[in-house]
Each structure stands twice: as structure tokens, then as C-alpha cells.
A and B are shown apart, each in its own frame.
Chain A
């Protein structure tokens, strides 16, 4: 197994009026190719910052980040990753399909090829009939599917997701989780996922990285081996066992191995 993302000694300090705030303190983390890793922890534990460091949207104060064997910056310039945020962030003035085409357009794909690819992706996220719709006509869940399709547009080997389902209702959320698990499996992409939700983390991940705040650091790593995810996974005893394990780790009394 090769490391796709590796962070070592990553520290991030924000300068604030009330003094410096350490968002991340000496974080080491390795994500192997094809792995689904979730970062979980209370607000302020630096999980989003960690994701943004990997995405080169913010630079670490200290430490090194390697993505796909390159620096994080080079990986961003090569568009080695696709990213989705809690807000779908679709452009209101573009149709759904044109939103998905955006990264391809920026890469200079010709009109016909990118339209073809975008329609393929809309099919993948279950929205083939909404290509010509405006984002405002879509529900929150549908908008988030479009955002995922857009993140997948260039066929990245790494998918970064910052609470993409955070604003959705529970039913929509579970449906999209199942679809994301399927998409990740089919595409073989490496995924780094940030969430607040323990069941979401356990359902989706191969490994759950539990973080603790002030300063943000990795408190525990819980390996989850539940095989292929189905609707029954959520009701399996092993699933609940893992949920409990993550919850305990979050509370700080962790009888789990430290990585």
C-alpha cells in the first residue's frame, strides 16, 4: 500500500487579536491510496484546517505535506484532487451541467468532450434529468450531488470533502452517504472526509481519525472493517460497536491504539 497523502509534523498557527491560536499541533497522518479516511472531532479541533492544508488552500506554519508524491501546491496546480464543501457553492447563473463542466472548462477541454463527461457524472450522482436546470430549482441534497459531480469532474485520485452533508436532513444524508460509498468504491479514489457525525464517519470510513481541540491534534485512530456498505450495515452490531469506540475516543477515555 502506497501513501497517497502524508503529513508530518504539521502545525498551523493563526494570528488573532487575542494572541496566536494553534489550530493544528504536530499532526502526523498517512492516507494510503484508495483509502477512505474521516476526520472527526468537536468544533475547533482543526479538522477543517487539516483538510485545507492538504488542499493547499492554507499553508502550514510548520511541517511537510505530500500529496501524490508532490508538494500540496503542485498537487493543487495539477488538480490531483476534487473538493466539496458544506455549501454546494454552485453558480446560480450557470445551469447544472455547466456547473459540473466548470473545472473542465478551466482546464481547456473542448465543449463537446466536457459536456459528455459532465452528463456522465450527472448520471453517476443520479441527476441525469436535471442537466438543464438552474441550481436554485434544486433541493439542498440535489445541489450537493451536483457539487460532488463537479468535484469528480477531472477524475481526481483524491477527493476532499468538508462536511458536505452537514446541512442536509437525516434521510437525504443517509442516501447520499450510501451513494458516496458506492462512488468511492467504483472510482477507487482516495477520500479524506470531515464530519461531526459519528455514524456518518463509521459508515463511510476505512479509518476514523479522532481529533481533539486546543491545540488541534490527532487523539486516536479507529480502524473500521465492515466490508461493503449496504443499508444493513447501519443495523449491524459491529457498526454499533465501532460507533461506541469512536464516541469513547472522542470523550478522551480511549482504550484504542494510538498511531
Chain B
């Protein structure tokens, strides 16, 4: 589970993003800062291994510092080297790097499917709640409540329901359950963000549209939607991170093969004999988070003109 816990942190590094002051900085400069921050983490890791106790640090019987021995914290170079070696002892085994990348690609596609579904549902709910006060009063509490249901409790349920779904000739595939769970986490920030964004135009702007005798749809397309972009982008960042976490946790709790979540579990079983291996899976999960965050950043750059002028 450590890999999952590390995930949001990995996303946040990029997600926090450059503050406005840095906006003018070149992409190259930003990449430089990113590489530097990775190096700092590596140096801190190795430094702790030098000073830390192999048994970790305990306070009143509870371990507060991790063990610094090679089985718990393999050297950075051990982990990197592990990527190049075969995954298992079998003769036709591919390298760990290939296995991790394949798993990342699998989870990426599932998380993206979940993100798209979640964003569509979120936008739909946000529009519905914006349009009808009754829908807001009736739905919003459930929307909030939905996020308090523990994912691990929900995942087996979704898989169970999915098994009974038959839409025409389409049969329900296990990855669809994972995508649905990812969507379940992703829709929430989008729904709330869209609701706030659609309501962000001032009363005067709305009246102006009314004075032009604009229809509801015209007002939506030309005023409310563009005005909600500044609310939608942060919501998308959260949704993207949630979709990745949701996909990984769902893979683990439903036991679906092929994704990075499953790989974390498989590799961690070998942690005693091959400690570096599980860290390759963690890094794979971090890579996934970075790629997804990068995609949202690209979208943000594409929609720059809708950002409020500073």
C-alpha cells in the first residue's frame, strides 16, 4: 500500500505547479528544477541510509522512523539497476522495465477512461445542479456523501454489479469496473467545480445576456462555460489525481491483473528476497501520476486565455 500512499505525493510535486511568479519561466528551466528536486530526494534517501539505524527509530514502542537497512531501503542505484534485469527466473522473462511500463500503460488507459467518464458525469451533475435549485438541494448532499464511502468497500461491490451488466452484445470486462471506480472518485471535484464555475459570472454579465435576449444555451456557451474554466482546471487536476489513485486502489482491491496496482502487490511479495523490485513498481506508479498531471498542465496551457487576467 506504500506505493499508493506515495502516489498523491508524487503528483503534488508537479501539481503544486509553478506559482504565478514562475509562469514566465521556460519549459527547460522548469524541467531543470524538476530534475534537481528528484536528485535532492535521491540524496536525502542515501543520506538517511548512512545516518539511520537499521532497526529504524522507535518512540514509546512505536516505530516512527523507517528501517535503514538494504532490505527496507535499497540503494537508489540498486533500484535503477533492477529495471534492467529480467522480471523472473524464467528463460523468456522480459526485463522489469518492460513489465513496469506495460503495467503503467494498462493502468493509464483505465484511469483515463475513468477520468473521462468522471468528468462527463461531473459536468452533467454540475449543470443539473446549476440549472435546478431542487437538484442542488437534493443531489449535493449525496454527492458529498458519496466521497465518504471507503473505496475498498465499494470496489468488490462494483465488480459484483458489473458481472451482471449486459448491454447488447457488449460484455462487462473487469477493467471497466476499475474505470468506474476511478470515475467515482474523479467526478466529485468536477461536479463541485462546475457548479461554482457556472455561477461565477456577475449578476451584471447575466443581465447583459438577458438584455441581448440570449437563450439559456447561448448564455451557457458564451458566458457561463468560458467563465467556469478557471474553476474547471483545478477541479481537473484533482480529478486526474483521484482517477489514478482510484484505478490503482481498485486494481488492488479487485485483484485485476495487468495494471501497476497489481504489480505493486506481486512485487511486494518478493520484498524480502528482492527488495529493489517493489520500488520499481512504486516508481512506475509515480511516473503514471506525473504523466497524467502533465496532460492536465497541457490542457491548462491550451486554455490560458480563459484565465483571469492578473
Residues of B within 8 A of A219 (CB): none
- Provide the bound-state CA to CA distance between A234 and B213, in Å: 38
Answer whether residue B23 sits at the interface, using C-beta atoms and an 8 A cutoff. Answer: no
Contact at B211–A83, with CB atoms within 8 Å? Answer: yes
Interface status of A185 (Cβ within 8 A of chain B): no
- Check A209 for interface membership: any CB of B closer than 8 A: no
Q: Does A92 contact B (CB under 8 A)?
A: yes
B40, CB-defined interface residue at 8 Å: no
Min distance, Cβ B19 to any Cβ of chain A, angstroms: 20
Q: What residues of A have a CB within 8 angstroms of the CB of B218 in the complex?
A: 106
Chain A residues whose CB sits within 8 angstroms of the CB of B202 once the complex forms: 87, 89
* Cα A211 to Cα B211 with chains together (Å): 25
Least CB distance, A256 to chain B, in whole angstroms: 33
> Cβ of A83 and Cβ of B208 under 8 Å apart?
yes
Partner of B211, one of A57, A91, A107, A136: A57
Q: A57 and B210 in contact (CB under 8 A), knowing A87-B202, A102-B222, A136-B309?
A: yes
| Complex interface: chain A residues within 8 A of B214 (CB) | 106
Residues of B within 8 A of A106 (CB): 212-214, 218, 222
A85: chain B residues at CB < 8 Å are 204, 207-208
Tell me how many residues of A have a C-beta within 8 Å of chain B.
24
Whether the pair B309, A81 counts as a contact (CB closer than 8 A) is no
Number of contacting residues on B, CB 8 A? 19
Q: Flag if B213 contacts A89 (CB, 8 Å).
A: no
Number of A-B pairs, beta carbon distance below 8 Å: 51
Q: Mark B188-218, 1 if CB is under 8 A from A, else 0.
A: 0000000000000010110110111110001
CB atoms of A57 and B207 under 8 A apart: yes
Q: Does A93 contact B306, Cβ atoms closer than 8 Å?
A: yes
B294 in contact (CB, < 8 A): no
Say whether A91 contacts B213, CB under 8 Å. Answer: no
Say yes or no: is A77 at the interface (Cβ < 8 Å to chain B).
Answer: yes
B226 CB to nearest chain A CB (Å): 5
Q: Closest A residue to B304 by CB, please name it.
A: A93
B29 within 8 A of A: no
Of B208, B222, B309, which one neighbours A89 at CB under 8 angstroms? B208
Least distance between B276 CB and chain A CB atoms (Å) = 50
Tell me if B223 is interfacial: C-beta within 8 Å of chain A. Answer: yes
Chain B: CB-nearest residue to A92: B309
Tell me if B61 is interfacial: C-beta within 8 Å of chain A. Answer: no
**A134, B306: Cα distance in complex, Å:** 11
Complex Cα–Cα for A55 and B212 (A): 10
**Chain B residues within CB distance 8 Å of chain A:** 202, 204-205, 207-208, 210-214, 218, 222-223, 226, 229, 305-306, 308-309
**What would be 22 A-B contacts, judged by CB atoms less than 8 Å apart?**
A52-B207, A76-B210, A78-B213, A79-B211, A79-B212, A83-B211, A89-B202, A89-B204, A91-B222, A91-B223, A92-B306, A93-B229, A93-B305, A93-B306, A105-B222, A106-B212, A106-B213, A106-B218, A106-B222, A107-B212, A135-B309, A136-B309
Q: List the 3 closest pairs (A to B, CB-CB), nearest first.
A: A136-B309, A83-B211, A77-B213
